């Protein structure tokens, strides 16, 4: 399966297992979603469980909070992560706080799916990576898959979880892995080991990172599309790097990070979101606090820039192979 098919399969599995799971969002019903991730679900489960909403992100999430409080497990879709901001108050003030403010009497078991990230010439309003905003909010979990296999298992785990979860889907790798070389032909998931997705139910626990590649020279922490860009860059440069795919930012598998950095003594953090206040800053602080005496060089970050995502200069903004190689060379030189 490609990632879209894996996500569709996860929704199908969970809707078949649990009648309380409902899917909602702009164009998710008859049309099947702008990326076709919900294709066929309305025909199979009916308009009461898979339904279109008005173009009002605040309303979509507000209704989902109420559904969760009354016992349903809604899976709302925000068509692009760039448009999630009108829903911030409902996510931060209501969904994230409901369990705490009600002393556990009510919960908000909702999973908000949203395509995010650049690499598709979407410009400033279809390319943003807002995950860092939500990792700052207590009470919300943040999940970002990098493969079809992980996308299905993590989505199932998120839907089953009793806390509100942001499930960001890297749209640049919906149909195939991306090595960061935009001038090369696009690749498909066909034949890729991580595209071998079981048809039925399985789950990948939230809070467990994946070691993509073992190595001794340095540790590279990444997630989403960047996992593939980093893996390709390391392979092409023949660098003995250990690559950790975080998979979930909250909860974070700090034990896996600490073990890797203690082994290698060096750490590079790569993400597409803007640099200032990005999740990489939190990772850098955690590594510094926990692994200071094991570090043999300063921690480096390769990220997006502190500017709106540029359309005409997309590949200068995108953390590609050149910038990653330069950062690795600097770390290894130190």
> Which residues have a catalytic role annotated?
126
State both tokens at 12.
């199908």
Q: What are phi and psi of 255, to 5 degrees?
A: -65, -40
State both tokens at 305.
């820039």
Q: Are strands 210-213 and 241-245 parallel, antiparallel or unpaired?
A: antiparallel
E strands along 55-186, which residues? 73-77, 111-116, 141-143, 165-170
From residue 231, alpha-carbon distances to 95, 192, 317 in Å are 36, 14, 19
| 15 contact partners, CB below 8 Å, separation of at least 6 | 21, 23, 41, 44, 45, 49, 50
Distance, in Å, from the CA atom of 148 to the CA atom of 195, rounded to the nearest integer, reads 5
- Rounded to the nearest 10 degrees, how much is the dihedral formed by the CA atoms of 157, 178, 132, 221? 80
> Contact 167/11 with Cβ under 8 angstroms?
no
Helix (H, G, I), strand (E, B) or coil at 223: coil
From residue 60, alpha-carbon distances to 91, 309, 323 in Å are 11, 26, 39
């Amino acid at each position: 399966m490609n990632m879209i098919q894996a996500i569709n399969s996860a929704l199908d599995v969970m809707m078949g297992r649990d009648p309380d799971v409902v899917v909602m969002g702009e164009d998710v019903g008859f049309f099947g979603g702008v990326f076709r991730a919900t294709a066929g679900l309305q025909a199979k489960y009916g308009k009461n469980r898979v339904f279109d909403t008005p173009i009002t992100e605040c309303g979509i999430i507000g209704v989902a909070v109420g559904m969760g409080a009354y016992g349903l497990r809604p899976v709302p879709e925000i068509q692009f992560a760039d448009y999630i901001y009108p829903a911030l108050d409902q996510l931060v003030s209501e969904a994230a706080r409901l369990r705490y403010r009600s002393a556990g009497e009510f919960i908000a078991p909702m999973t908000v799916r949203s395509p995010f990230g650049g690499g598709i010439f979407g410009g400033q309003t279809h390319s943003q990576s807002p995950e860092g905003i939500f990792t700052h909010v207590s009470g919300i979990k943040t999940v970002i898959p990098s493969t079809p296999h992980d996308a299905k298992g993590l989505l199932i785990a998120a839907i089953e979880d009793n806390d509100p979860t942001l499930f960001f889907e890297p749209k640049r790798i919906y149909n195939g892995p991306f090595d960061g070389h935009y001038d090369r032909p696009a690749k498909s998931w066909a034949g890729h080991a991580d595209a071998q997705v079981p048809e039925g139910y399985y789950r990948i626990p939230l809070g467990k990172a994946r070691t993509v590649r073992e190595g001794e020279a340095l540790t590279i922490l990444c997630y989403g599309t960047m996992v593939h860009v980093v893996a390709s860059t390391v392979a092409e440069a023949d660098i003995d790097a250990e690559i950790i795919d975080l998979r979930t930012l909250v909860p974070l598998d700090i034990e896996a990070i600490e073990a890797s950095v203690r082994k290698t003594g060096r750490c590079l953090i790569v993400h597409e979101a803007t640099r200032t206040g990005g999740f990489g800053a939190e990772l850098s602080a955690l590594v510094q606090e926990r692994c200071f005496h094991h570090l043999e060089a300063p921690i480096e970050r390769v990220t997006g820039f502190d500017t709106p995502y540029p359309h005409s200069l997309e590949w200068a903004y995108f953390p590609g192979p050149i910038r990653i190689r330069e950062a690795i060379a600097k770390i290894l030189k130190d």
